[in-house]
Amino acid sequence: MPALSEIKIIKIEEELRKCPDCGYELGFHTSFVNAHANKEDPVKSTRELYRVILICPECGARYDVGWKIPASEWGHRIIKTPAIKLSRI
Ligand SMILES: [Zn+2]
């Protein structure tokens, strides 16, 4: 698998369908990158944010158009399970 390309920040004009790097015209795949993953910020966010990254299916170029989405609600739930005393095992 080839190394991931650098994420380029671009702006959507009228429509973003064509890859600026290779000219592929049929749109993009998407991936999600933790917005705080590469920051050395001692203040932790109370809510995780993900950057929506567009990936060209033809050349693999990656683009950030400024979209961010919050982590899903279920990821913050705590699942409670019955406690088992170790002495019974
Ligand atoms: Zn491309």
What is the distance in A from the centroid of ligand 1 to the CA of 26? 10
pLDDT for the residue 89: 58
At 9 the pLDDT is 96
d(CA 17, CA 15): 6
Q: Write down the residue that tokens 């009228």 correspond to.
A: 14
Report pLDDT digits (tens) over 64-89: 999 999 877 665 556 667 777 777 55
How many folded domains does the chain comprise? 1
Distance from Cα 67 to the centre of ligand 1, integer Å:
20
Looking at residue 72, what is its pLDDT? 74
Instruction: Give the distance (Å) from ligand 1 centre to CA of residue 18.
Output: 8
Q: Is 20 a domain residue? A: yes
- Please give the distance, rounded to the nearest whole angstrom, from the Cα atom of residue 12 to the centre of ligand 1: 16
Q: What is the pLDDT of residue 39?
A: 59
In a domain, 55, yes or no: yes
Q: Residue 76: its pLDDT value, please?
A: 58
Is 15 part of a structural domain of the chain?
Answer: yes
Residue 80 inside a domain? The answer is: no
The residue segments making up the domain with residue 2 are 1-37+46-72
Cα-to-centroid distance, 25 and ligand 1 (Å): 9
Low-confidence stretches of the chain (pLDDT beneath 50): none
**Is residue 62, in this structure, part of any structural domain at all?**
yes
Domain membership flag for residue 7: yes
